[in-house]
Amino acid sequence: MNKDIKNIYAILALFAIILLVSGCGTKTTDTTTGGNSAPTGDGTPVANTPSGGDTNNNANTGTTSQVDTTKNTYPELFDYTKTSSFQYRISTDIQGYRNTIDTDYAVTSDSSTGTNTWLVTTSTVTETGTIKTNMWIDTTTDKCIKWESYIENGDQKTQQPGGCPLSGLNSADYGGGTLTDMSLENVSVPAGTFNAHRYELEGITFWTAPSIGVPVKIIYNDGTVKMVLMKYS
């Protein structure tokens, strides 16, 4: 793959990150059959435990079972009171072109226009420079109220077009939502092995461990984009 194509797919990966973390998706999920089968290679189903009972490095085994499907969406996926920094490895497979890139996230308390917010800062190193984004999320409504993106290359800083998500968890029309087809599975990623809840929402599958506060694994659009947690603190 030549340099220009690599750059294009690095940037595509970045926008995939933004969409995934914002909970956006374009593919619809059929929930009418109540099916609970996990995508291939997504983890080993284990016996159901009450919500909040997930533990790290748990090797329980058993059968998949349906769990509560009326959870409020955003708090179940992201709880920034528990984790202030983390890194995902994002793998993309778009039209036969595969790319892997690491992105660091830092979460701090901040404010914008007099509103208490979480400031979520991402940093991704590509051949075009370091791509950074800042998203200010209202701590009460979980809505994005400000967003900016830019590329740093040496002393140069180039602002990128964009804004808050138009759909999904942090968008202006965020209304809580529900998560579907939830089960409990053992999932191994570089950050560890977790007894994680599997949630499906708008074509995206999330595996979350409540003790961490961010998903340990995310798969988008049947594997076109995959994210695995590398480390966290």
pTM of the model: 0.73
Please report how many Cα atoms fall inside a 13 Å half-sphere around the Cα of residue 110, on the Cβ side: 17
Q: SS3 breakdown of the chain: % helix, strand, coil, rounded to 5?
A: 10, 45, 45
Predicted pLDDT at 225: 87
pLDDT in tens, 25-71: 433 333 333 333 333 334 444 433 333 334 444 333 333 444 444 45
Structural domain total, the chain: 1
Can you tell me the distance from the alpha carbon of 207 to that of 221, in angstroms, rounded to the nearest whole number?
15
> What residue numbers bound the domain in which 32 lies?
3-232
Residues 6+ apart with CB under 8 A from 97: 1, 5, 9
User: Average pLDDT for residues 74-94, to the nearest whole number?
Assistant: 88
Q: Three-class SS string for 140-159? A: CCCCEEEEEEEEEECCEEEE
141: left (phi over 0), alpha (psi -120 to 50) or beta: alpha
Residue 147 φ then ψ, to 5°: -150, 140
Check if the beta carbon of residue 197 is closer than 8 Å to that of residue 208.
Answer: yes
pLDDT in tens, 165-180: 887 777 766 655 667 6
- Three-point CA angle 178, 184, 190, nearest 5°: 105
Predicted pLDDT at 2: 53
Check if the beta carbon of residue 61 is closer than 8 Å to that of residue 217.
Answer: no
Predicted pLDDT at 66: 44
pLDDT in tens, 90-120: 998 877 888 888 999 999 999 998 999 999 9
Please report how many Cα atoms fall inside a 13 Å half-sphere around the Cα of residue 44, on the Cβ side: 12
Mean pLDDT (the chain) is 74
